[in-house]
């Protein structure tokens, strides 16, 4: 009986852990500001960074 309750608890906490891992992965891959689609934001950003609005995304940044 006690072990069954514990098994359910372990299952529930494991679910929380896996969800946390998924959130972590999402956070690390969340759409970045530079990649925003809106032309206005892009222009604003490029104005600051001084890049062409077509060179989107971090990959195209000069290193």
Partner 1 sequence: MRRLLMHSPIAVALTWISAYLFVTLFPLLLLLLHPMPVERGFWVEFSVALGFIGLALMVLQFVLTARVNRIESSYGIDILLQFHRYSSVVALVLVLVHPVMLFITKPETLQLLNFPQAPWRARLAVLGTVAFLAMVVTTIWRKPLKIAYEPWRAMHSLLALLAVGLGFGHAVGVGYYLSLFWKQVLWGGLILVALWLIVYVRLVKPWLMTKRPYVVESVMPQRGNVWSLVLRPLGHEGFTFQPGQFAWLTLDITPLSMREHPFSMSSSGDRPDQLEFGIKALGDFTSQIQTVKPGTKAYLDGPYGVFTTERYWNSAGFVLIAGGVGITPIYSMLLTAAERHDDRPFLLIYAAPSWEDVTYREALEALKATLDLTIIYVLRKAAEDWSGETGYIDRDLLARHIPIHRGSRQYFICAAPAMMAAVERALLALEVPVTNIHMEHFNLA
Which residues sit at the interface with partner 1, rule CB under 8 A?
Answer: 1-3, 6-7, 9-10, 13-14, 16-18, 20-22, 24-29, 32, 58
Give the largest CA-CA distance in the chain. Answer: 66
Nearest distance from C-beta of residue 63 to partner 1, angstroms: 11
Place of tokens 């972590």: 24
Q: If you compute the radius of gyration of the chain from its CA atoms, what whole number of angstroms results? A: 21
Count helices and strands (H / E) in the chain.
2, 0
Q: Based on CB atoms, which residue is closest to partner 1, 24 or 39? A: 24
For the chain, how many residues are written? 63
Q: Based on CB atoms, which residue is closest to partner 1, 1 or 48? A: 1
Q: Based on CB atoms, which residue is closest to partner 1, 44 or 61? A: 61
């Amino acid at each position: 009986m006690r072990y069954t309750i514990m098994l359910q608890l372990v299952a529930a906490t494991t679910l929380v852990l896996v969800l946390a891992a998924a959130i972590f992965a999402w956070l690390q891959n969340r759409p970045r500001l530079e990649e925003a689609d809106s032309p206005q934001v892009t222009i604003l950003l490029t104005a600051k960074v001084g890049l062409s609005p077509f060179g989107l995304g971090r990959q195209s940044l000069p290193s």
